[in-house]
Amino acid sequence: MKNKILTLVFAVLMAGLSGCGGGSNPVVPTVTTNTVAGSAVKGPYQVGAVVKVYELTNGVRGATPVVEGTITDALGTYSVDIPSTATGPFEIVVLGSYIDETTGALSTTDQETSLVIADAANVPAKLSVNPIASIQAAIVKEALVANNGADVAATIQSSGTLALEAMGIPTVDVNGNAVDPVQLDLFDTTADPAVVAAFLTASAIVADVVNNGNGTVADFATNAATDVAAGNALGTAGGTTAAITTAATNVAAIDLVANVAAAVTAADPTVTATVATTAAAVTTATTTAATLTTLKGFVLSGNSFSVGGVAASVDAYGVAAAITGVAKNAVSVAMTVKDLGTGTAPNASSASTSFDFYVKDTATTRMIKGTINPVKLVADGTGIVTFTVPAAATLAWSGVTAAGTSIAAATATNLAANTIFNTDAAGVTTIDVNALLTLLQNKVNNADLNVLNIAGTFDYALGFGVNLGWANTTNDGIMNLFPTGNANVTGRAISGTITTQ
């Protein structure tokens, strides 16, 4: 064997020398990579836990990882270099033992969590693999399986919002910034303590459910994604509604902050573990956690909206009655969204979401679709919900002309769209679809993308990345959530047909 190795080395060296004039060193091909790093926390994963990166094809994880790594310290730190030749989207999977927040001890079984990214070249410096990101990943994969042409980045964003809402974690922090599951970090002292407390509480609830024989952490994520997609209360798919309620009660009696901090120090005395929240904040978070299995979110008031002044009812699946007689230059959607908070009484709250739209001329191939991200919903506590588009929002779009020519997907940043979205004092939000399509037309200098500039019949879909549902008969509760997306948009979708004149 030793001779074979030496012979191989000699052959490689000779091949390199023969290919270079003057006896210069052989040329070594350069392999470029993109580094993805962060922490893995189901409490913190411990040294030796395995990190694997898989490509996703139509939402399905590949059989072989493109790269592997390990957790390197007691805080769950990881770093992997993904070859630039590998194409996203990717699922980053962590499997191993972790510090159980409910006991402060190492988990008795290895458990898996994961996250999904659209590509490896455009990611934040730190990505957190955690149970909430796992729910997000499961929602994304379900969506991509159902619609492999979906906008991956938009699907990830809207799925993150739904995962946060499902687990009672704020979607907006104290500074008004959108919360992202893959940015949740127990040890980030610059983070909003209330968000960290809700994250720690939710993670501990998952641990308690698993510890009491109710499947794995991965099972919890998959079942939660199924519930979110179906509009069911958390725990329905896995039969764990009672276990989740019990877990919330159990967690409320535990000092989770002290457990994690002490366990990390015990695992590695050289590491300083400062959990970025307080026991008091966790106690507050457990109050919300006690209602996790209650279906919450926003409703379309009266289960109806109007286009150009023509009213349309919406069924429990988000399908609207056909609308006719709308002037082609007056296509504005007017609706009232009501925030149910934690019960039937209005609450002051806010959420960060995305808004997806799709319009298709049924007589030709003309089509335009896009996403505005983020869009903020703010409930004032009296029942009024206001939609606003932050100055730094991004508009992404793609389309097809009447001649069947595809318009390449593109984006525009620093979008000023509050002339398109407007909420009046009574809580009626108007979306000026004509203005939105004109904005797109001007961005690409192509009038054919202004699909509504002629009279005709059009299919449309509107998607929201929040838990938007069908109101009950008294308009103070959710009967069920609209399905998650359809073939054309992500998020909770409303769709139908409009005929203009």
Burial class (CB in 10 A: 0-12, 13-18, 19+), 342: middle
Segment 136-156 shows an average pLDDT of 89
Q: What is the DSSP letter of 150?
A: S
Q: What is the pTM of this model?
A: 0.88
Phi first, then psi: what are they for 467, rounded to 5°?
-75, 85
The yes-or-no verdict on residue 420 having pLDDT over 60 is: yes
For the stretch 235-245, what's the b/e string if a residue is b when 16 or more beta carbons lie within 10 angstroms of its beta carbon? bbbbebbebbb
What does the alpha-carbon distance between residue 338 and residue 469 come to, in Å, rounded to a whole number? 10
What whole-number percentage of the chain has pLDDT above 90?
62
pLDDT at 26: 60
Q: Per residue in 156-171, pLDDT tens?
A: 999 999 999 999 999 9
Segment 306-315 shows an average pLDDT of 95
The string of DSSP letters for 65-90 reads -SEEEE--STT-EEEEEEETTS-S-E
pLDDT at 3: 38
User: 19 pLDDT band (50/70/90 cuts)?
Assistant: very low
Mean of the per-residue pLDDT values of the chain? 88
Q: Which residue has the higher pLDDT, 28 or 325?
A: 325
- Among the residue ranges 6-20, 334-348, 423-437, the one predicted with the least confidence is 6-20
Q: What is the DSSP letter of 431?
A: E
What does the alpha-carbon distance between residue 134 and residue 129 come to, in Å, rounded to a whole number? 7
| One-letter amino acid of 379 | A
- Among the residue ranges 15-29, 85-99, 226-240, 393-407, the one predicted with the least confidence is 15-29
The highest-confidence range among 21-35, 58-72, 355-369, by mean pLDDT, is 58-72
User: 443 pLDDT band (50/70/90 cuts)?
Assistant: confident
Domain boundaries, the chain: 34-289, 298-500
- Pick from 283, 287, 290: nearest CA to 255: 283
User: 350 pLDDT band (50/70/90 cuts)?
Assistant: confident
Tokens of 212: 């009491």
Residues 6+ apart with CB under 8 A from 225: 135, 138, 139, 141, 142, 163
Tokens of 423: 């909420």
Q: Per residue in 444-458, pLDDT tens?
A: 777 776 778 889 999
Residues in the chain: 501
Q: What is the DSSP letter of 98?
A: B
What does the alpha-carbon distance between residue 273 and residue 261 come to, in Å, rounded to a whole number? 5
Segment 19-24 shows an average pLDDT of 50
Phi first, then psi: what are they for 307, rounded to 5°?
-125, 120
The yes-or-no verdict on residue 6 having pLDDT over 70 is: no
Q: Which residue has the higher pLDDT, 197 or 452?
A: 197
User: 346 pLDDT band (50/70/90 cuts)?
Assistant: low
Tokens of 124: 């934040």
Q: Per residue in 399-414, pLDDT tens?
A: 898 889 888 888 887 6
pLDDT at 410: 81
How much is the CA Rg of the chain, to the nearest whole Å?
A: 25
Q: Per residue in 269-298, pLDDT tens?
A: 998 889 999 999 999 999 999 989 987 788
